[in-house]
Structure 1
């Protein structure tokens, strides 16, 4: 098995665990993935949801918790790699990036928008930068900007396809007609873009396939196409080490294919989630919003369809009837809880 090499960072298994918020991937899951040879990723969005002062001082609680969970994950790993996923659409994005860097995270992974300011924020640090893109057009725009403005390029590129969970960089129409999206062609185009900028900056830019990858044959397919590795989120939810409540994990195990739906996200991007009472409710009524957590730049409490922070906090706590249960397209294929080590072994057995 060829390791995933990102500059001076080497992961024995070419597996990046996707960042999943709120609270689904914190220090427990990230450190377990890292200890099993992959790259563990902490989601930074409202990571301090269970801090005592979260309701009154959300920003302070989140930055404190981000620092704490990076520190815990680092302490639990032996020379492992720990990344942090931070959405561009977050309020206080820069503050979170700076805290992650000071706390010693190895990689900042950033999507839900183009992270145009990221190179400047990590300047003079050892932290690697990895944008998440969904198209060759987006990849080209971003790398051209970084090249022109910051005289630098990406250390890693993650190409997220339409089968992923969370906030997706595709339209509702595209996701409802998923076969109209030629992800493989886009992936090959991005490989070429990475090669061009890699040659210019005399470095190898690994390109990572992501979205709906759930088997070793999926992993082998993209490795054979030229990927340096894959990013996987959904399969790591149903692990003993995942930070989520058992009810959340069991929602995946009990889900059928027809239960997985495209939902409207207040970020302005559609998402994929498991159908439940909450999704049924928001289809015909707007839930009462009693508090704004000021978490997303595009979100206005007056016209947002629901509070995504509250819905995701309910999810991680296991309050399923009032929760948004983000998942990948293949969540229904999971039927039992496993260890992180088992999941990584399953994903890499054919490569």
Structure 2
């Protein structure tokens, strides 16, 4: 029997024909695969994707605010128009880099639909001709099936044997079904709409009450109940209307037995976030990996303080203190990253509001600053004790290759004696409990 790595890795293709055959095998359910979650702003960039490719796995580039370096520009240049320009430059630069380093590797790009810059960034990714799979979450784009059909028609006029695939990022049967039936099956010209090629099922919490990292894919007003996010039940629901497209599982995946369990359920692959964030090639600084992620005194907090309004899972460390000065600075440098729904702007007059500016504080983490938003999955309280993160008795930051090898050969240990609630705070049990930073 093939090892788990052999089952989930892809060949190192020598030409475009071989790559297209590999993609067809993945999207026809003939080849299972492992990939990474796209983590913005700037945590899964081109160097990360190149390392994933060299390790033998499909990669996902984060196209959610790839032009984040605009935050280092003078305040007068930090606006939505210039952000779009820098997003485009970053995507084209990444495309050039990836063509040179791993031209025939399978590469994806992910997006957040709620961002005003989404459609422009999506078009830049399509235009770059360097990516094979588009993944879209944090909202739903009812026009995407038509745009993907159009993009494929344009591509195949130039290269008849190539395809551009897409996978909605969903957390329920209802969302997957909306893409398949409501968006992609309407109209009298089926060739003008492309049904999803697969589904990226990202669940906010698993049966062991481990949260996924970052923004959690469920309704702002919905409780965080593991029973509501049963992966087997959701997969069964998807299979009732789409029997063949691959469905991969994300959220709470960091060890061999967790991957094998997903495959045994019938999933076509898995995606990992936190495990691969804690590597040298990610955009997270080695110093902050050691002093924050590997620090057993730092727990996980689940709150609704993101300016997106969504629940999120992060390390329980301080973000920028809300003062008149920091508020003025954030508003002066606002790039309208999350649009009109920004809770930070909406609540700026409320003295007790605890919302943070996601643009500012996530980029602070990207730059390795002490204060910022450090997203993480709940399993970090277990993972940080793994031998992977120690060398010669000292804290160690592994490479992507080392992280993948460890994951594919080590089962999850038993939970520490302290409870998840002790580490994660009351929101782990009751997401309606407000938490202070």
Change over 3 Å in CA distance of 1:58–1:188 after alignment to 2: closer
Superposed CA offset, 1:8-52 (max 9, x none): 668987211100011111011111112211111111122122257
8 A Cα contact 2:26 2:32, kept in partner = no
Deviation (angstroms), 1:247: 3.4
Count of residues paired in the alignment: 340
Kept after mapping to 2: 8 A contact 1:9/1:81: no
Q: Distance in 2 between matches of 1:13 and 1:137?
A: 24
Which residue of 141, 147, 157 corresponds with 1:115?
Answer: 141
Change (3 A) 1:31 1:92: same
For 1:78-227, list aligned pairs within 5 A.
79-103=104-128, 104-122=130-148, 123=150, 124=153, 125=155, 126-144=163-181, 145-149=183-187, 150-162=192-204, 163-171=211-219, 177-193=224-240, 196-198=241-243, 204-227=244-267
| Structure 2 portions without partners, runs of 5+ | 1-5, 11-21, 156-162, 205-210, 348-354, 390-396, 412-437
Structure number, greater radius of gyration: 2
Following TM superposition, by how much is the alpha carbon of 1:216 offset from its aligned partner in structure 2, in angstroms?
A: 0.6
C-alpha displacement of 1:189: 2.5
Gaps in structure 1 of 5+ consecutive residues = 199-203
Are the equivalent residues in 2 in contact too, given 1:247–1:320 (CA < 8 A)? no
**Alpha-carbon distance in structure 1 between the residues aligned to 2:381 and 2:112:** 26
2:78: which partner in 1? 55
Q: Which residue pairs with 2:378 in the alignment? A: 329
1:285-330, Cα deviation, whole Å (9 max, x unpaired): 9951232111113226531533211111101001131x11111121
Distance 1:285 1:12, change over 3 A: farther
Tell me by how many angstroms 1:346 deviates.
Answer: 2.8
- The DSSP-based 3-state class of the residue aligned with 1:197 is coil
Which residue is 1:315 aligned to?
A: 365
Check 1:302–1:286 CA distance in 2 against 1; reply closer, same or farther (3 A cut).
farther
